[in-house]
Chains A and B, each alone.
Chain A
Amino acid sequence: MPKITMREAISQALWEEMERDPKVFVLGEEVGVWGGTYAVTKGFYDHFGAERVRDTPIAEAAIIGAAIGAAMTGLRPVAELMTINFAFSAMDHIVNEAAKLHYMFAGQFVLPLVIRTVGGGGRQLGATHSQTPDAIFAHFPGLKVVAPGTPEDAKGLLKSAIRSDDPVLFIEHATMYQVRGEVPEGEYTIPIGQSKIQRPGKDVTIVAYSKGLELSMKAADQLAQEGVEAEIVDLRSLRPLDMGPVYESFKKTNRAVIVEEGWKSFGVGAEVAARIYEDCFDYLDAPIQRVAQKEVPLPYNRTLEQMALPQVEDVIKAVKEVL
């Protein structure tokens, strides 16, 4: 299998879907002439033209609102929000319109809409440009929230998102575009709503996704040298949240650590832990540990920023707590 970067994987998925279906088009800030601020749509404008690669004003409500309207007519827009921090300017359209219209109008029309966006800290962009608010969006019924951690998953899941008749928020991580991984040759898709064992083990279950997966894989390598075999379950989507593989793993290891980059309070770890407690209480051998970001607005200074973000050592420490 060829090894490609996360950026290439996402770009390929988008390109292939646009080639496959003329109803698919992209819109967003700097997606066209510029080629995308994270270069995901580089070359798209020249190939697909200005009608299908639409540069927009810096107006997030208009971007998402127009994408919703276009989706109502049967098109399949892929709207890019330059960062997830700007999604707050379009919050009303994401949660009050995209997540609700299909239900509120009793299924009269569908919203085959994808919002691609970039989250996460670690690039010294300061508090307003470095957030990981994934859990906020996962709160809303009607939305699907996907956050891949490998190039293979990114490509397969984005293709499914574009083909889905439900609105999907597709969150990429700002520091993971250069992550390389093997990707199957030729056409494939990965269904949304299926967690995956990314590394088998028997001693402890680590539940993670996106950047948390990267940290956990590194932690597991180090733990293996100390004789601890961690099993890593990658959620891949937060809504729907597939707990099946988590439970299966937990019933084997009886110990769990949940790793996310967002804040701990009311976060993904809170949700996953609550579900394990509810459904697997009899299998519990130790209190579940959560690894997450310190509860501060992310500072600019590199040292402070890294202090606030979860690190590989935090994952190792949490695993040792539950063993």
Chain B
Amino acid sequence: MDKEQYLDLFYQMVLIRRVEERAAELYQQGKIGGFLHLYIGQEAVSTGLISARLPQDRVITAYRDHGVAINCGIPANIVIAELLGKATGCSQGKGGSMHMADVSKNFWGGHAIVGAHLPLASGLALGDKYAGKDGVTICMFGDGATNIGYFHEAVNLSKVWDLPVLWVCENNLYGMGTAVERASAVSEIRQKAEGYGIPNERVEGMNVLEVRDAAAKALDYCRSGKGPFFLEITTYRYRGHSMGDPERYRKAEEVKKWQETDPIGIYHHYLTSNTIALEAELDALEAKVADEVQAAVAFAESSPEPGPEALFENVYVEKGTSIQVNK
């Protein structure tokens, strides 16, 4: 990795953190509707993981998707515009927080039904294998998703058909408010991959470089045609499951303890103590992010709402069908 790449990881993590903090404010101001699931605390997972992918690698994730969207290359202003339901958002205001995608950046969404996107990931990988392409599908999901049937159907199929899927479980210790050990028969989620004969690894997810290294190796494995690989990445979310979570299931001390291993703080220390970057350079990046987020919010707030014609667009591809069914 050259210096620019090291700095870029820092920049991406800080950008996600600041976008999420602004999103929380905008939500409290009533400018964002529906649910809002913040990625604060988990930035190193998606940043490290996606930094290791090649352009032909597809990414698909669950509803906690703003950070993933940014890592995949969707600009912050487009992410915030989607949160505000604007026509300039990546899903033109029709998807919202949980349904962001940009296919041109090989980001296949933001899917809000827990575990339901895992079979889709098998299908995306099947598409590449069928077409003889060497892309890997990176499928991210939470620990909670490993208890639903879709997980088992999809993971089993990926092994039976030797599909190039990198399964990535972000184990943040809670499925909503239920602790892993209260919901999953095994609290080390990677053991579930063992049951399907899929090679696997458990990685510390607060260190972006460790995640990146593990992801690079896992992607190489999948790309070599050997079939799926399973990564369990342990992490922690600092905010509630979504806005309005009373957080009765955990103590403030626990959150505080994890905040001492803040992924951005760890990486900041790594960069400065190894003289990869100067304190002043990182400060400058922080300032750049602050400006970018401010401009992004201004862009989103001044963007137009979708027009009424958008209501009936994209229900069907075939012209006239939407009109026919709405007659």
Contacts and interface: CB of A to CB of B under 8 A. Distances in A.
Interface of A: 25, 51, 54, 56-57, 59, 61-62, 64-75, 77, 92-93, 96-97, 101-110, 141-142, 144, 164-166, 193, 239-242
A109 B149 CA distance: 27
A104 B34 CA distance: 15
Q: Which 9 A-B pairs have the closest CB atoms?
A: A69-B123, A65-B119, A73-B127, A62-B153, A66-B123, A106-B92, A165-B317, A107-B314, A69-B120
Interface stretch (B9-17, B97-105, B199-207, B262-270): B97-105
B121 interface: yes
Given A72-B127, A73-B127, A102 B314 contact: yes
10 contacts: A61-B149, A62-B157, A67-B123, A69-B121, A73-B123, A96-B113, A104-B91, A105-B101, A108-B102, A141-B322
B122 A62 contact: yes
B25 to A, nearest CB: 26
Given A61-B149, A72-B124, A106-B92, A93 B101 contact: no
Contacts of A73: 123-124, 127-128, 131
A106 B85 CA distance: 12
Contacts of A71: 123
Interface string B296-327: 00000000000000000111111001101100
A54 B121 CA distance: 17
Contacts of B144: none
A154 to B, nearest CB: 20
Contacts of B314: 102-103, 106-107
A307 B133 CA distance: 55
B317 A102 contact: yes
B137 to A, nearest CB: 8
Contacts of A141: 315, 322, 325
A97 B92 CA distance: 18
B95 A104 contact: yes
B19 interface: no
Contact of B99 (A54, A56, A74, A105): A105
A97 B313 CA distance: 17
A59 B124 contact: no
Interface centre among A25, A97, A240 (most CB of B within 10 A): A240
A118 B287 CA distance: 61
Interface residues of B, number: 46
A240 B119 contact: no
Contacts, number: 148
Nearest to B101: A105
Contacts of A108: 91, 101-103
A166 B99 CA distance: 20
Contacts of B324: 193, 240, 242
Contacts of B161: 54
A97 B315 contact: no
B113 A61 contact: no
Contacts of B313: 106-107
A67 B125 CA distance: 11
Contact of B120 (A25, A54, A72): A72
B150 interface: yes
A193 to B, nearest CB: 6
B154 interface: yes
Contacts of A97: 111, 113, 116-117, 120
Given A62-B119, A106-B95, A69 B127 contact: yes
B154 A62 contact: yes
B160 interface: yes
Nearest to B127: A73
Nearest to B129: A51
Given A59-B156, A65-B118, A69-B124, A109 B315 contact: no
A72 B122 CA distance: 11
Nearest to B154: A62
A82 to B, nearest CB: 16
B143 to A, nearest CB: 20
A196 to B, nearest CB: 16
Interface in B193-252: none
A261 B39 CA distance: 50
Contacts of A101: 109
B126 interface: yes
A25 B101 CA distance: 26
B108 interface: yes
A142 B315 contact: yes
Contacts of B315: 102-103, 141-142
Contact of A56 (B111, B157, B318, B321): B157
Contacts of B157: 56-57, 59, 62, 66
A111 to B, nearest CB: 8
A49 to B, nearest CB: 12
Contacts of B122: 62, 65-66, 69
